[in-house]
Structure 1
Amino acid sequence: MEAGLRAVGAGQRNAALALGMSSPQALLTVVLPQAWRIMLPSLANQWVSTVKDTSLVYIVGVVELSTAASQVNSRTVAYPAEVFGAVAVLYFLLCTGIEALPNWLRTGPRTPAAQPAPMSTWQRFLRWRERPVSDAVT
């Protein structure tokens, strides 16, 4: 997080202060939005690593997805491939969602290409008047 904040140039903060913003206001409106875009890829990697490393938490006694799958597999007459396949799909969806969220936040929602505004009657008239007069008509 600190590296993301330091990556934004000091000139950005100084410019905001020169425009009359207070220090917290400059941080919230100028520095953090830029730092957020810089930090997103690193934060996404940390979130994915956290999700993947939660399987190590069962040592402490916290039941998580793969431990629960082992318990379900031992208590029921289910095939292990089905249970652990479902867990793998859940982990895949969870990690894919965590990876996609920062990309979506960084690029913003997709919007259709902006269409030009329709011309008013007056604009059409002015455009009609700009047409070159043919040499044939005298």
Structure 2
Amino acid sequence: MSIVGLLKENYMTLLTAMGKTLELTLLSLVFASLIGLLFGLLNVSKKKWMHVVANVYIDAIRGVPLIVLAFFIYFGIPLATGIKLDALIAGIISLSLNAGAYMAEIVRAGIQSIDKGQLEAARSLGLPYGTAMRRVVLPQAIRVMIPSIINQFIITLKDTSILSVIGFPELTKAGSIIIARNYETFKMWAIIGVMYLIVITTLSKIAKALERRISYGK
């Protein structure tokens, strides 16, 4: 069967799977951003115990392969607790925890890139630490973080392919199912690769455009 024939026969399945992939990526990145913000703020706190908590989480998650984390959450937790997790929920938890550790480092680096005088000036005007961080430091840091956040989005999008091992119907899993029916391995993986390439290249261009715009704004 030709590549055109494969596309005609399976385009709806592939588009649905790509939609599932983007859904999983977006939801995971939302939760990862919240996790990253929390642990990023803990990491720049003046309190030592907060540093310890943040570093333990970051080091532990970054030290465990995503596939092991996914197996632990999807298979291990249900066996230990008796609570069955849907593949989407398990995927979101796995990706959120994984990406959250990297987002925490992005947040930390973004905050530390802002001149300390900004925070000190806000504190000298009587603003509490939390308010000064929220209203003065974070708005400036977010501008610096945006390109890195988009890059993390790209990495998370690629990482969704790992979750095919727990049966989540993302693009890679859909490709495997189609190949099992027609044995067109080379052509099917070529189509899957091009689909990923189009989405990821588009996101990369957006990241570079934002980076240029931010640099120009400075």
Equivalent pairs counted in the alignment come to 108
Task: Give distance in 2, aligned partners of 1:80 and 1:33.
Answer: 48
- Which of these residues, 109, 120, 137, is aligned with residue 14 of structure 1? 120
Q: Is the 8 A contact 1:13 1:30 kept in 2?
A: yes
Which of the two has greater helix per residue? 2
- With 12-21 and 88-97 compared, the bigger mean Cα shift is at 12-21
Gapped runs of 5+ residues in structure 1? 110-138
Q: Which residue of 2 aligns with 1:85?
A: 190
Distance (whole Å) between structure 1 residues aligned to residue 134 and residue 209 of structure 2: 21
- Structure having the higher Rg: 1
Question: In the alignment, what sits opposite 1:103?
Answer: 208
What root-mean-square deviation, in Å, do the aligned CA atoms of Structure 1 and Structure 2 show?
2.9
Structure 1 equivalent of residue 138 of structure 2: 32
* Length-normalised TM-score, structure 1: 0.59
Higher relative contact order, structure no. (Cα contacts within 8 Å, ≥ 6 residues apart): 2
Q: 2: distance between equivalents of 1:26 and 1:96?
A: 37
TM-score (norm 2): 0.40
Q: 1:102 offset after TM fit, Å?
A: 2.9
The Cα shift of 1:94 comes to 1.8
Counterpart amino acid of residue 57 in structure 1:
L
Given that residues 147 and 211 in structure 2 are in contact (C-alpha distance below 8 angstroms), is that contact kept between their aligned partners in structure 1? no
Percentage of identical aligned residues:
33
Runs of 4+ residues deviating >4 angstroms: 16-26
* Structure 1 residues 27-46: Cα deviation after superposition (integer angstroms, max 9, x where no partner): 45532232123323433332
Question: Residue 168 of structure 2 aligns to a residue in which SS?
Answer: coil
- 1:1-138 maps to which residues of 2 (within 5 A)? 1-16=107-122, 26-76=132-182, 79-108=184-213
